[in-house]
């Protein structure tokens, strides 16, 4: 058995175990291992590998893959599939600590505010932006300073993940994969995709003068691609204002605003992002606020 130490919000294998090669070692598998079963001989592990579309037979004692059973015809991966492999590859980070997927869980976020230094300042924590439709939402980053997606991909790997620089083919593959990402089905939408009566009333508030949300959040992805000063900045911010985030998939978020300071839509819309503060409209009544929230959950 491997003991675990609890350090804050995460568990870690003690360093003395990591250094004991008889008790702990890595067995390179590649792809994306998703399932594991130990055979009756307590020596063989069967690993379901998603990206390789295979079952790998691993000799635990020798630390090698003895056999790979492909599930169907083995074909060369597409450009997007190669990008997906990079996205899940921890070897792209320092000491294999994490991959792109660690923060952008299956292309979304991870409900954590982290300091990547991407905003040019230290101890300025930001929530992780989802990557759905990312190629269509220039500029990038919370402060909107990045206008080159290829450069953004490279910087994320070399600076945030502290890994080796990707080559041009790697970046092409990653962008192809990101372009393939789509939001999961929205559970707040009705089966025929119609809005409920409350959500329809909320849509009219959102798009009309009553809420004026669509002044910034408009178009197919509900972002105007511009920076705005909404009163949330700090004196040490290197960049002014915040890039309007897309509201698609808003219902999936558990931390809201750039720094995750609020954790619910009611707290957001009656607090730091109250339409009356941001757009200068008259304060919303309780029933109007409830309708607006019902609409936001359907986006």
Q: Quick one: pLDDT band at residue 21, thresholds 50, 70, 90?
A: confident
Residue 2 has pLDDT above 80, yes or no: no
Higher pLDDT, 245 or 4: 245
pLDDT score recorded for residue 38:
96
What pLDDT, in 10s, does the model give residues 34-44?
A: 999 999 999 99
- Position with higher pLDDT, 75 vs 161: 161
Q: Token match 């269509």: residue?
A: 136
**Separation in Å, CA 194 to CA 183, 198, 252, 272:** 18, 11, 19, 30
What CATH class has 79-180?
mainly alpha
Say if CB 107 and CB 131 are below 8 A apart: yes
Confirm or reject CATH 3.50.50 for domain 5-70, answering yes or no.
Answer: no
Q: Residue ranges per domain, the chain?
A: 5-70, 79-180, 197-296
Buried b (16+ CB within 10 A) or exposed e, 267-287: ebbbebbebeebbebeebeee
Evaluate if residue 286 carries a pLDDT over 60.
Answer: yes
| Residue 239, C-beta contacts closer than 8 angstroms, at least 6 positions apart | 119, 120, 143, 144, 145, 227
The tally of CA atoms less than 13 A away on the side-chain side of residue 3 is 8
pLDDT of amino acid 288 = 98
pLDDT confidence band for 19 (50 / 70 / 90): confident
Tell me the HSE value of 295 on the side-chain side, using a 13 A CA sphere. 21
* Domains 79-180 and 197-296 in one fold: yes
Mean pLDDT of the 86-91 span: 94
Q: Provide the pLDDT for residue 127.
A: 94
For residue 256, pLDDT over 70 is answered with: yes
228, containing H or E segment: strand 227-228
Three-class secondary structure of residue 120 per DSSP: coil
Judge whether residue 5 has pLDDT over 60: no
Residue 131 binned pLDDT confidence (cut-offs 50, 70, 90): very high
Q: CATH assignment of 197-296, given 3.40.430.10, 1.10.760.10, 1.10.150.120, 3.90.1300.10?
A: 1.10.760.10
């Amino acid at each position: 058995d491997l003991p675990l130490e609890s350090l804050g919000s995460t568990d870690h294998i003690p360093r003395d175990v990591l250094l004991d090669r008889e008790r702990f070692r890595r067995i390179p598998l590649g792809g994306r291992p998703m399932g594991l079963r130990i055979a009756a001989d307590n020596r063989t592990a069967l690993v379901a590998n998603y990206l390789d579309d295979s079952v790998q037979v691993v000799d635990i004692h020798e630390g090698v893959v003895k056999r790979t059973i492909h599930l169907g015809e083995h074909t060369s991966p597409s450009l997007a599939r190669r990008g997906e492999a990079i996205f899940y590859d921890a070897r792209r980070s320092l000491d294999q600590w994490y991959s792109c997927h660690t923060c952008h869980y299956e292309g979304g976020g991870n409900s954590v505010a982290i300091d990547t230094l991407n905003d040019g300042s230290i101890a300025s924590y930001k929530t992780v932006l989802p990557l759905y439709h990312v190629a269509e939402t220039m500029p990038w980053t919370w402060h909107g300073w990045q206008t080159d997606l290829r450069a953004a991909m490279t910087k994320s790997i070399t600076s945030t993940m502290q890994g080796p620089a990707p080559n041009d083919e790697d970046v092409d593959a990653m962008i192809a994969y990101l372009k393939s990402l789509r939001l999961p089905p929205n559970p707040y939408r009705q089966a025929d995709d119609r809005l409920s009566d409350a959500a329809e009333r909320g849509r009219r508030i959102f798009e009309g003068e009553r809420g004026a949300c669509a002044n910034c959040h408009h178009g197919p992805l509900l972002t105007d691609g511009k920076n705005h000063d909404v009163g949330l900045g700090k004196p040490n911010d290197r960049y002014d204002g915040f890039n309007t985030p897309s509201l698609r998939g808003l219902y999936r978020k558990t931390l809201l605003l750039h720094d995750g300071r609020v954790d619910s839509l009611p707290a957001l819309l009656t607090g730091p992002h109250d339409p009356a503060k941001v757009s200068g409209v008259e304060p919303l009544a309780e029933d109007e606020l409830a309708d607006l929230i019902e609409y936001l959950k359907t986006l």
